[in-house]
Structure 1
Amino acid sequence: MKFTTKWMAAYFPEYKGAADTEIPIHHIYTDTRQKTDRGLFVPLEGETFDGHSFLKSAINNGAVAAFWNKEKPIPEFVPTDFPLFLVDDTLIALQQLAHTFRTEINPKVIGVTGSNGKTTTKDFIASVLSQNYKTHKTKGNFNNHIGLPLTILSMDQTTEVLVLEMGMNHFGEIERLSFISEPDVAVITNIGESHIENLGSREGIAQAKTEILAGLKSNGKVIIDGDEPLLAPLHTREGVLSCGFDEKNKFVLSDCKMDDTGTRFTINQNINYMIQVPGNHNVKNASFAIIIGELLNMNQEHIQEGLSSIELTGMRLERITGKYGTTILNDAYNASPTSMKASIDVVKELPNFSRKILVLGDIFELGALSEMLHRSIADAISEPIDMVIAIGEEAPYIVEEMKKKELAIEAHSFKTKEEAVDILESTLSEETVILLKASRLMEFETLLEHLVEKE
């Protein structure tokens, strides 16, 4: 049980039905297609839908109470004792309920934002902290103004640490999430180019990401990518801990060594750790978790156990064995210029492969800067990369720029994924590693149908 309708009535005192009785609420949800046991239904409204229209379905599928916009008539089919909490806006009510529940349970809240690496960092943090604390984290990408409140409301009452991913598309969105969650620790993973179409510049993106400080507890800590110049103004702020490869940082990363088992690295020249995923960018993601573990009085052994037992959300440098023993790195969940370059660097550094192939697709939401930023990807491409396959409307600019730079690397451009299949299948072998990287809407994971044996 999360709470009762009587508990809710203290915070939402305008209601119909038997809301002042002890009716237990086990789940809070917005989708009436899912069956639930003792659920609170939240009917959200959008441009093309109105959740209020589905109240009957919600009741039939297990709802025992609901929020209700007070401006809307109550349907005749609603039982007179069915609790309806009358509010001005059901979305705001959901967010208020989440904030109230967060305050009631009072776990340590870790908020994670940034242009790239949010989900991987969240997974590292949750895996490390779960070694010592009962930990709840954002599932999948439930990181917006709806998903974050639902994540808070899905935690168990005994939760000790809550790890929340915070995403955004526009100014003001992270600020709202920060006020809802009131983080004890805020993490800014980096500043890239994602959503630059909406935010105008990398400076605008940095401004939007630092909104996470708005709801930070008065004694809260902020952990930042200390190598990012746009976050430099935060270095002198009280409670800020910087992390990165530059020696000016409070936590300095060094001696990164990558092999088939993962990546080893050192913090502050005397503490050694290992992660089972490749790449310097993942070293930095893991270091945020290490720092938080230390803040919460964890020892090095337990922190390492958490790093080693991580279960990463899918399509983040996910290693898959394809046909003929080919190694495929499925990093196709999403992309920005920064994250694409980081993934290319990983492939370049991977040992024990005689053939390295990049399959790169369009990066969306770059606006007027799209051509320039796609062309900039070519700056990261060099030996030992053997082949580049660019797919989409914008990705071929990468190949154009490679030819302009006269790079001696085989390169091909295609408008569609289907056109690229034949040449891609011809490269498969045990000595080959293939990177799949593109924005989510490109759905690059469908290429796996041609690269992996059917079960």
Structure 2
Amino acid sequence: MSIQVSSVRHHAIRTRGTIDDTCQLTVFTDSRKNCPSGLFIPIQGENFDGHAFIDSAIKNGAKATLWSESVPLPDRLPLDFPVFFVKDTLKAMQDIAKDVLSQRNPIVIAVTGSNGKTSTKDIIESIIKTNYHTYKTQGNFNNHIGLPLTILSMPEKCEALILEMGMNHFGEISLLTQIARPDIAVITNIGESHIEFLGSREGIAKAKLEIVEGIKPGGTLIIDGDEPLLTQVKLDQCQVVTCGYNKGNTLQIVQVKPDISGYDFSLSGSKSTYHIPIMGKHNVKNAVYGVAVAKQLNIHEVDVKKGLEKCKLTKMRFESVEGKEGTLLINDSYNASPTSMKAVINTLKQLPNFKKRVVVLGDMYELGPDEENLHRSVADAIDPPISHVITIGPKGKWISDSLIEQGKPCYVQSFLTKKEALPVLETLLDKTTVILFKASRAAELEELVEALREKKGVKE
């Protein structure tokens, strides 16, 4: 989407150079990106300052720039190059995004949670695009920089905008929701991710619930109704819809039936059966969040089913690929917490027709002072038919140590590096084997997935 110069000028302290207020500009922050007719927004961080790259931005198409008034303007900059001076370039970008949302007025759906944000976002999009022109957060653009950029990138014809909101400290969701002003907000669950910074699961719940601070009057909050930390909170500013397996949920999940392609499930009080072509039982509840959103938007049941059946998740979220010797590789290596790791292990147990079920588990980060016990707790989910457990990294070793101490009946081996683990994994490859990969993003276990798809090495 392009924005009018008038929207930018409104937030400028002063300007240098001239540019027509009706001119359309495309916003970008990466000076290396080719962006004809671009408005360059230089972001300042602890270890970088985008102002230093103005020459590269101009070379790649910038027709104007925001500029922090505290940063000297380079003498080499052409005198006729339009500059919009602001107190803070990031704050100005966030304010412009607010203005654009107010002008365009799409339906805004915000998604947060400890696990499943991206999968839920993908599912919601697949359903509502049957009725609306939609746009969603691309990649991991879910923070104080990425969210306004997502807003400023949405197509002109966007009718429904789905925004993922990530955080690891208090106050971050509050900022994002007040930029986005969602009509509908979803909290997928409360896990242990970022407990290092938030202190406890109670702290995580409090941080996620900041999302209600920006909900529009009359808006709707959709939550995990099986999570007491969410259901015990009394909210007056919005309608609350609960989803889950427990009785009393607004949408109660019943009759879940797995198959090799995904799951069939029903909801209490409904004659409809839904199918989601995605493995992982945890994705059934994510799908129900999508159904809940659809009900708020009055999307017909037929379209809800069509949307679910066509759903595809972002890469590295329980992504199934074929490896060498016909092995099934499940790449769920984008991120991990103890809760999500246990969930995917339980899903692996349910897959039919595999003699060897192998889990490759790596380090999890931001778990705070109790990180060893949280890693060790993963062993509780590992029992037959899981046949092999390979752990990688010093934190992952806590999982294998716990398995050995408990005397679990499976093959267990621990390695410090991916490179050491690869030869062992290669001995397990055949058509009767499925291998699951799960760890925090920094572990980059997808390198092992690629190595087992074709002959290539891995880094340490």
Unaligned 5+ segments in structure 1 are none
**1:167 and 2:160 matched:** no
**1:359 and 2:363 matched:** no
Give the Cα–Cα distance (whole angstroms) in 1 for the partners of residues 36 and 240 of structure 2: 43
8 A contact 1:235–1:242 mirrored in 2: no
The equivalent residue for 1:36 is: 35
Give the Cα–Cα distance (whole angstroms) in 2 for the partners of residues 382 and 146 of structure 1: 43
Q: Quick one: which amino acid aligns to residue 330 of structure 2?
A: L
8 A contact 1:425–1:450 mirrored in 2: no
Moved more, 8-17 or 69-78: 8-17
The equivalent residue for 2:201 is: 202
8 A contact 2:323–2:329 mirrored in 1: yes
Q: Quick one: which amino acid aligns to residue 4 of structure 1?
A: Q
The equivalent residue for 2:58 is: 59
Q: What is the CA deviation profile of residues 137-178 of structure 1, one whole-angstrom value per residue up to 9, with x for unaligned ones? A: 000110000000000000122210000000001100000000
Please show how residues 316-355 of structure 1 align to structure 2 within 5 Å: 316-355=317-356
The equivalent residue for 2:420 is: 419
Match of 1:209, SS?
helix
**1:255 and 2:255 matched:** yes
Q: TM-score, normalised by structure 1?
A: 0.97
Tell me the CA shift for residue 269 of structure 1: 4.4
Q: What is the CA deviation profile of residues 164-196 of structure 1, one whole-angstrom value per residue up to 9, with x for unaligned ones? A: 000001100000000000000000000000011
The equivalent residue for 1:134 is: 133
The equivalent residue for 1:378 is: 379
Tell me the CA shift for residue 308 of structure 1: 1.7
The equivalent residue for 2:408 is: 407
8 A contact 2:65–2:82 mirrored in 1: yes
Identity value in percent: 50
Match of 2:424, SS?
helix
**1:16 and 2:16 matched:** yes
What root-mean-square deviation, in Å, do the aligned CA atoms of Structure 1 and Structure 2 show? 1.5
Please show how residues 291-302 of structure 1 align to structure 2 within 5 Å: 291-302=292-303
Q: What is the CA deviation profile of residues 224-268 of structure 1, one whole-angstrom value per residue up to 9, with x for unaligned ones? A: 000111112246655000000011211000111111121110112
Give the Cα–Cα distance (whole angstroms) in 2 for the partners of residues 399 and 423 of structure 1: 15
Give the Cα–Cα distance (whole angstroms) in 2 for the partners of residues 377 and 315 of structure 1: 20
8 A contact 2:3–2:152 mirrored in 1: no
Give the Cα–Cα distance (whole angstroms) in 2 for the partners of residues 39 and 171 of structure 1: 33
Tell me the CA shift for residue 300 of structure 1: 1.4
Give the Cα–Cα distance (whole angstroms) in 2 for the partners of residues 310 and 178 of structure 1: 26
**1:177 and 2:140 matched:** no
Moved more, 436-445 or 47-56: 47-56
Give the Cα–Cα distance (whole angstroms) in 2 for the partners of residues 13 and 449 of structure 1: 51
Tell me the CA shift for residue 3 of structure 1: 2.4
Q: Quick one: which amino acid aligns to residue 427 of structure 2?
A: S
8 A contact 1:6–1:19 mirrored in 2: no
Moved more, 73-82 or 271-280: 73-82
**1:453 and 2:454 matched:** yes
8 A contact 1:258–1:279 mirrored in 2: no
Give the Cα–Cα distance (whole angstroms) in 1 for the partners of residues 20 and 423 of structure 2: 66
Tell me the CA shift for residue 20 of structure 1: 5.0
8 A contact 2:107–2:161 mirrored in 1: yes
Moved more, 206-215 or 265-274: 265-274
Q: What is the CA deviation profile of residues 288-342 of structure 1, one whole-angstrom value per residue up to 9, with x for unaligned ones? A: 1111111111111111111122231100000011111111110000000000000
Give the Cα–Cα distance (whole angstroms) in 2 for the partners of residues 263 and 300 of structure 1: 18
8 A contact 2:11–2:92 mirrored in 1: no
8 A contact 1:254–1:269 mirrored in 2: no
Q: What is the CA deviation profile of residues 357-390 of structure 1, one whole-angstrom value per residue up to 9, with x for unaligned ones? A: 1111111111211100000001111111111111
Tell me the CA shift for residue 85 of structure 1: 1.3
Match of 1:404, SS?
helix
Cα distance, 1:45–1:302 mapped onto 2, change above 3 Å: same
Tell me the CA shift for residue 279 of structure 1: 2.2
Tell me the CA shift for residue 67 of structure 1: 0.7
Match of 1:365, SS?
coil
Tell me the CA shift for residue 13 of structure 1: 5.5
Match of 1:214, SS?
helix
Q: Quick one: which amino acid aligns to residue 325 of structure 1?
A: G
8 A contact 1:357–1:435 mirrored in 2: yes
Moved more, 101-110 or 72-81: 72-81
Give the Cα–Cα distance (whole angstroms) in 2 for the partners of residues 384 and 70 of structure 1: 63
Q: What is the CA deviation profile of residues 370-413 of structure 1, one whole-angstrom value per residue up to 9, with x for unaligned ones? A: 10000000111111111111111011111211122221111111
**1:97 and 2:96 matched:** yes
Tell me the CA shift for residue 71 of structure 1: 1.9
Match of 1:256, SS?
strand
The equivalent residue for 2:45 is: 46
The equivalent residue for 1:441 is: 442
8 A contact 2:127–2:304 mirrored in 1: yes
Unaligned 5+ segments in structure 2 are none
Please show how residues 186-225 of structure 1 align to structure 2 within 5 Å: 186-225=185-224
Give the Cα–Cα distance (whole angstroms) in 2 for the partners of residues 296 and 13 of structure 1: 40
Give the Cα–Cα distance (whole angstroms) in 2 for the partners of residues 244 and 300 of structure 1: 19
Match of 2:232, SS?
helix
Moved more, 78-87 or 177-186: 78-87
Give the Cα–Cα distance (whole angstroms) in 2 for the partners of residues 372 and 21 of structure 1: 59
Q: Quick one: which amino acid aligns to residue 67 of structure 2?
A: W
The equivalent residue for 2:84 is: 85
Give the Cα–Cα distance (whole angstroms) in 1 for the partners of residues 131 and 23 of structure 2: 33
Tell me the CA shift for residue 79 of structure 1: 2.9
